[in-house]
Structure 1
């Protein structure tokens, strides 16, 4: 299965290499998994949701929670397939950044809006996410879920890019990944790509915002 998810992402052209990217965490690196290339493909997105669901069928999950935006799409498909596999309705809700979608994970908290917190209170919850490098977004989603009264059964990501540091200990809950694709992430002041003068990609990732902020 771990190779399977990478094959799916390669099929839709979501794995980008040998460039200079700024990640959601604000760190830099030369590999980027553009999850947005997955979501236009409904068949493949549904299949990834099935992969999550197969992993947690029979675990009595009542609600699937994920951080928006991409995670919201995946949690809907995951809940759909879990409902079918477990023979009961599994709900799907998402958290959002309190400072807007363009804010980095580090400078934002994940919160429930639209009254979604009432759906997780007292329920057994599976928290999922598409990608993680530092685990910040997922950790804050777990914290928001606990604050809303949800019972965390497990945390699972589509791809873990930092298996050495992103683990069960970080989240305080059982943690799993459908696949691993290790990628080094550097702080700006020690980024070898910056030192070599390699231009930052402004099409994918957070490079455009990073450059705009540096002009101020």
Structure 2
């Protein structure tokens, strides 16, 4: 599957939005990717997970983990196709945690899976939790990388199905705000940082 086919999935699902958006990082953007609209189609989720899996060797993975909520569907599908256990981290009172009775046996090698990455903050928080519980993150996979020119986001290898360079702005220096382009809306899964 090539990047144009993946981008077409987003466009066909109405998941590539244009407007004035507040990202999970708190930054503003004129484009937003709503992966949930793509991943609600099981055949799309299956194909995108297979694309991600092609970028990793399953022999090095013991378990798959995703930060909630964005990474849940694609992380579960990657784990299903790899036949590996799946867990997720989630925020409680603003702090990323491992809950719901999940545990990570000491030395477990985890594949971290996310839907869309811009700054990588949720993934880094997830990796901290994994390490605090005795696991070892070995690679990060994401369907979409919104900031392909960013370097050093993670201390493990990182691969993506599609790179889509989308300009983001600090809210204090957002041209969309200055130009009065609609109020900035937050269509994602959690409040801005």
Structure 1 match to 2:9:
8
Q: Deviation per CA, 1:96-133, whole angstroms, max 9, x where unpaired?
A: 0122xxxxxxxx332110121x2353211100100011
Q: 2:78 maps to which residue?
A: 78
Shift of 1:12: 1.6
Cross-structure match for 2:101: 115
- Cα distance in 2 for residues equivalent to 1:120 and 1:64: 13
Question: For residues 28 and 188 of structure 2, what CA distance do their matches in structure 1 show?
Answer: 10
User: Aligned pair count?
Assistant: 191
TM-score by length of 2: 0.90
Match of 1:94 in 2: 88
CA-atom RMSD in angstroms: 2.0
Contact 1:21 1:206 in 2 (8 A): no
Distance 1:38 1:121 in 2: 35
Mapped partners of 1:132, 1:120: distance in 2 = 27
Select which of 114, 120, 132 maps to 1:129. Answer: 114
Q: Which structure is higher in helix share?
A: 1
Structure 1 contact 21–30 (Cα < 8 Å) conserved? yes
Deviation of residue 43 (structure 1)? 1.6
Q: Is the 8 A contact 1:23 1:206 kept in 2?
A: no
Q: Secondary structure at the match of 1:126?
A: strand
1:104 equivalent in structure 2: none
Query: Higher strand share goes to which structure?
Result: 2
The 1:110–1:153 alpha-carbon spacing in structure 2 relative to 1, beyond 3 Å, is: same
Mapped to 1, the partners of 2:69 and 2:62 lie a distance apart of: 21
Unaligned runs of 5+ in 2: none
Mapping of 1:199-214 within 5 angstroms? Answer: 199-202=182-185, 204-205=187-188
- In structure 2, what is the Cα distance between the partners aligned to 1:111 and 1:27? 24
- The answer on whether the counterparts of 2:63 and 2:108 sit within 8 Å (CA) in structure 1 is yes
Is 1:197–2:180 an aligned residue pair?
Answer: yes
User: What TM-score do you get using the length of structure 1 for normalisation?
Assistant: 0.81
Secondary structure in structure 1 of the residue aligned to 2:39? coil
SS in 2 for 1:32: strand
**Contact kept? 1:132, 1:157, Cα under 8 Å:** yes
Q: Distance in 1 between matches of 2:80 and 2:128?
A: 24
User: How far apart, CA to CA, are the structure 1 residues paired with 2:173 and 2:140?
Assistant: 31
Superposition deviation, residue 135 in structure 1: 0.8
Structure 2 CA distance for partners of 1:57 and 1:5, relative to 1, 3 Å: farther
Q: Name the counterpart of 1:185.
A: 168
Alpha-carbon separation, structure 2, partners of 1:59 and 1:8? 30
- 5 Å-filtered alignment, 1:132-171, equals 132-165=117-150, 167=151, 169-171=152-154
